[in-house]
Amino acid sequence: MTGLDDANLGEVVVGQAELQARIAALGAEITADYAGRAPLLVGVLKGAFVFMSDLARAIDLPVEFDFMAVSSYGSATKTSGVVRIVKDLDIDLSGRDVLLVEDIVDSGLTLSYLRKNLKARNPASLEVCALLVRKGRQKRSPTLRYVGFSIPPEFVIGYGLDVDERYRNLPFVCRWAGEVPGVRTTT
């Protein structure tokens, strides 16, 4: 883990205890909503893997897993506006109850793309569970069945969220206080 005295770590936005309590509540809600069914959790790599792991353990039903990797950011902190699939699913979605697990919804571009793509695969149902939603960043209000937290429109790291593949292992979510990757600052 990174040292907690790392100058890149800003104010904590969602603490470890808050995360675990909300994930337990989401797990209970999903368990009730999917009673008698075995949802397929589709994680969006890499950011959602930590959240999805804890969420799956909080769901008291048989669940299956699959993963997709998409790219719209690269190493930047703002979306490029172009979404592409880097790793596709291994499991056929036909007739399955699919729960798309996202780490963060920012502009909504990636989510919109994924929904269209997954709906075309004929699942029985398709819902979204997002750990974080950045307030005011979406071009239109996304329809999300399950949301962990709404946060200010600032760049955050931790609990799966990264900068240049670092900080994913923080047990909390905090503001990024470092220089923005790919942006040169003048002094």
Q: Which residues are catalytic?
A: 106
Locate 104 and state its tokens. Answer: 């963060």
End-to-end distance of the chain based on CA atoms, in angstroms?
Answer: 31
> At which residue do the structure tokens 């669940």 appear?
63
Please answer whether residues 104 and 47 qualify as being in contact, where contact means their C-beta atoms are separated by less than 8 angstroms. Answer: yes
**Going by C-beta distance under 8 Å and a sequence separation of 6 or more, which residues neighbour residue 88?**
68
Please report which residue ranges of the chain form alpha helices under DSSP H.
16-33, 49-58, 109-119
